[in-house]
C-alpha cells in the first residue's frame, strides 16, 4: 500500500491526482513555485512544500530538488501527472534509484516510446502498422534525400517531440529545406534534440487513441477509444468517446494493436496509444504517451474506471480492479484556454474576477483555478477541462452546449465562445471531424458572430443587477465607464 505520494506537478492535474490519493487514503504532498502560492492544488494537498528558485528549470523541472523534498517529507512514491517530467526516463530512473516508487511505466518503456524513431522501429517489429515514412540519421542532408521517397504532402516530426512542437507540414519540394531547418530549430529549443523524421501526411484522417492499462501480473487491457481529431496546431481541442467512426470490429482491431504495442515494451501502468485512421478505415501508429492523458476523463465517464486510482493500485503492486471493456453512453470534453480565438488564438492574461462553472446532471469540471486567481504567462494557458456525459452523442452535444452557455468567466479572454460555436458546427454535429477541420473551417481565424456592443450591454446590465442583489451601491454613469474595460474581456455567453 502507498502511504504518502508526492505529486510532481501543478494546477488541474495536481488537483486530480491529490483528490484520487485522498479517496485512496493516501496522503498527498504538493510542491509549488512561489507564483503558485495559495492556489487550489496547494490547499487540496495534505502537505504543501514550497520550491526554491525561479522559472521552470529551477522549480517544477528540478529533479534533484523534487526528489529531495519527497525523501525529506517521508514520501514513498512520486506521481508525475502529465507534462513537465512525466515522460523523462532519467527522472523515473532517479526516483527509483532514490528508493521511491515511480507511479508510471519503466524508464526503459518511457525511453523507447519517447524517441519517436525508436518507437516506429519497435512498432514495426511488433507488427503494429506505422505511417509510411523514413527514419533520419544524417541531419538535414538525409532529410533532403529521403523526403522525395516518402512523397508529398509529408510531415516533419521531432524525434523527441510532443504537443505539436517541432512538427511541420510540407506540400512542395521547394519548401522542404526551409521547413526542415525550422522544425529542427524548434525541436532543439523545445527538447534539446534537433533530430527529426519524415512521415507521409495523411490528410482527411481522424486521430483516434486507445487507452490501455497493464499491471505487474501480466495483464494488459484496453478501455476503448477516444476521438481527438479536432485540433489546432496539433493541440487537441475537442475529445469524445466513443468515436462515431469506430465500430466494434475496428475497436477490437485497434485495441489488440494497442495492447501489442504496450507488451512490446513491457509496459506497466496507464498509457495511450495514438493512431491515425484513414477514411477507408486503415489505421496507423502515431505514438504512445507513457503517462495519464489530458483527455482521460472521457474514458472514465463512459467506462466507470478511475484511471488515476488504477495507476495508484498498479504502482502499489496490486492487480488492476477493472475487467473487460464495457462502454456506456457518450462523453465529450472541451479544453478551456486563456486565449483570444479572434487574434490567432494568442494566449491571454488577466484576473479571473468572475469564474462560475456550470453544474447539473452529467457535468464535470477538472480545473486548477477559481474565482480571484490571476492568469499569468508563466504556464500553459489551459484553465479547465469541461466534460459532459449523456446516454447518446446527440444528448451529450446538447448538454455541452447548455454547460458552455452557463459558464461565466469575467476578466480574462478565453476560447469559451469559440468552443460554443464549434459544438454547433454541422461537421461536429454530424461527426465529420478530421485533424485539419479547424484550418479548413477558419483559414483566416475564427470571428465572433455576436456583436461586441450587444455583449457589452448585456454584461453591464448583468453587473448592475448583481451589484443591486448583493446590496452594493448601484453603478453611476462614471462607474459604468470604469468597468467597460473589464467587460470587454469577457468571453462568456448570455441569453
Catalytic residue numbers, as ranges:
291
Dihedral pair phi/psi, residue 492, rounded to 5° = -90, -170
Is residue 311 a contact partner of residue 384, using CB atoms and an 8 Å limit? no
Instruction: Please check whether residue 350 is in contact with residue 483, taking contact to mean a CB–CB distance below 8 angstroms.
Output: no
| Phi/psi-derived region of residue 262, left when phi > 0, alpha when psi is between -120 and 50, beta in every other case | alpha
Cis peptide before 242 (omega within 30 of 0): yes
**Rounded CA gap, 31 and 52, in Å?**
10
State how far the Cα of 292 lies from the Cα of 13, in Å rounded to an integer. Answer: 9
The pairing of strands 330-337 and 339-340 is unpaired
Are residues 420 and 400 in contact, defined by beta-carbon separation less than 8 angstroms? Answer: no
- For residue 457, what are the contacts with CB-CB under 8 A and spacing of at least 6? none
Which of 215, 227, 158 is closest to 186 using CA atoms? 158
Contact 330/240 with Cβ under 8 angstroms? yes
- For the chain, counts of helices (H) and of strands (E): 18, 23
- What sign for the dihedral angle of Cα 431, 432, 435, 441? negative
What is the phi-psi region of residue 139: left when phi exceeds 0, alpha when psi lies from -120 to 50, beta otherwise?
A: left
Partnered with residue 403 across adjacent β-strands are none
Q: In terms of Cα–Cα distance, which of 206, 215, 23 is closest to 103?
A: 215
Record the cell numbers describing residue 411, joined without a space: 476578466
Grid cell for residue 422:
464549434
For residues 107 and 311, give the distance between their C-alpha atoms in angstroms, rounded to a whole number: 16
* H-assigned helices in 106-242: 107-114, 116-126, 140-150, 176-191
**Secondary structure of the chain: what % helix, strand, coil (to 5)?**
40, 25, 40
Distance of alpha carbon 473 from alpha carbon 469, whole angstroms = 10
**Chain position carrying cell 446516454:** 391
Separation CA 338–CA 352 (nearest Å): 10
Amino acid at each position: 500500500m502507498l502511504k504518502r505520494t508526492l505529486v510532481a506537478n501543478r494546477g488541474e492535474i495536481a488537483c486530480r491526482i491529490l483528490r484520487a490519493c485522498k479517496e485512496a487514503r493516501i496522503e498527498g504532498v504538493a510542491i509549488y513555485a512561489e507564483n503558485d502560492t495559495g492556489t487550489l492544488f496547494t490547499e487540496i494537498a495534505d502537505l504543501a512544500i514550497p520550491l526554491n528558485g525561479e522559472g521552470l528549470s529551477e522549480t517544477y523541472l528540478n529533479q534533484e530538488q523534487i526528489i529531495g523534498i519527497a525523501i525529506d517529507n517521508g514520501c514513498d512514491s512520486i506521481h508525475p501527472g502529465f507534462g513537465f517530467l512525466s515522460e523523462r526516463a532519467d527522472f523515473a530512473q532517479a526516483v527509483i534509484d532514490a528508493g521511491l516508487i515511480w507511479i508510471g511505466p519503466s524508464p526503459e518503456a518511457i525511453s523507447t516510446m519517447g524517441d519517436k524513431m525508436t518507437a516506429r522501429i519497435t512498432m514495426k517489429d511488433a507488427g503494429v502498422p506505422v505511417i509510411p515514412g523514413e527514419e533520419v540519421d544524417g541531419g538535414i542532408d538525409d532529410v533532403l534525400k529521403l523526403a522525395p521517397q516518402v512523397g508529398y504532402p509529408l510531415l516533419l516530426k521531432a524525434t523527441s517531440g510532443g504537443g505539436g512542437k517541432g512538427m511541420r507540414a510540407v506540400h512542395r519540394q521547394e519548401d522542404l529545406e526551409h521547413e526542415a531547418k525550422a522544425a529542427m530549430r524548434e525541436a532543439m529549443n523545445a527538447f534539446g534534440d534537433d533530430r527529426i523524421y519524415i512521415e507521409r501526411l495523411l490528410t482527411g484522417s481522424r486521430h483516434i487513441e486507445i487507452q490501455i492499462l497493464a499491471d505487474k501480473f501480466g495483464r494488459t487491457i484496453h478501455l476503448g477509444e477516444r476521438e481527438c481529431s479536432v485540433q489546432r496546431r496539433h493541440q487537441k481541442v475537442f475529445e469524445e468517446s466513443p468515436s462515431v467512426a469506430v465500430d466494434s470490429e475496428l475497436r477490437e482491431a485497434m485495441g489488440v494493436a494497442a495492447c501489442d504495442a504496450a507488451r512490446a515494451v513491457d509496459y506497466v501502468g496507464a498509457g495511450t496509444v495514438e493512431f491515425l485512421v484513414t477514411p477507408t478505415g486503415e489505421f496507423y501508429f502515431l505514438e504512445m504517451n507513457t503517462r495519464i492523458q489530458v483527455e482521460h476523463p472521457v474514458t472514465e465517464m463512459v467506462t466507470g474506471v478511475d484511471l488515476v486510482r488504477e495507476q495508484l493500485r498498479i504502482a502499489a503492486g496490486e492487480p488492476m480492479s477493472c475487467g473487460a471493456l464495457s462502454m456506456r453512453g457518450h462523453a465529450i470534453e472541451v479544453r478551456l484556454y486563456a486565449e483570444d480565438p479572434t487574434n490567432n488564438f494568442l494566449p491571454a492574461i488577466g484576473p479571473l474576477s468572475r469564474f462560475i462553472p456550470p453544474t447539473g446532471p452529467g457535468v464535470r469540471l477538472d480545473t486548477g483555478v477559481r474565482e480571484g486567481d490571476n492568469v499569468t504567462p508563466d504556464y500553459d494557458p489551459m484553465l479547465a477541462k469541461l466534460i459532459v456525459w449523456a446516454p447518446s452523442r446527440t444528448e451529450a452535444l446538447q448538454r455541452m452546449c447548455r454547460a458552455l452557455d452557463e459558464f461565466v468567466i469575467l476578466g480574462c479572454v478565453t476560447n469559451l465562445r469559440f468552443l460554443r460555436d464549434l459544438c454547433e458546427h454541422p461537421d461536429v454535429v454530424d461527426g465529420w471531424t478530421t485533424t485539419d477541420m479547424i484550418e479548413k473551417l477558419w483559414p483566416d481565424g475564427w470571428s465572433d458572430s455576436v456583436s461586441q456592443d450587444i455583449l457589452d450591454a448585456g454584461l453591464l446590465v448583468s453587473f448592475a443587477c448583481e451589484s443591486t442583489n448583493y446590496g452594493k451601491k448601484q453603478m453611476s454613469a462614471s462607474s459604468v465607464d470604469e468597468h467597460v474595460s473589464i467587460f470587454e474581456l469577457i468571453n462568456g455567453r448570455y441569453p
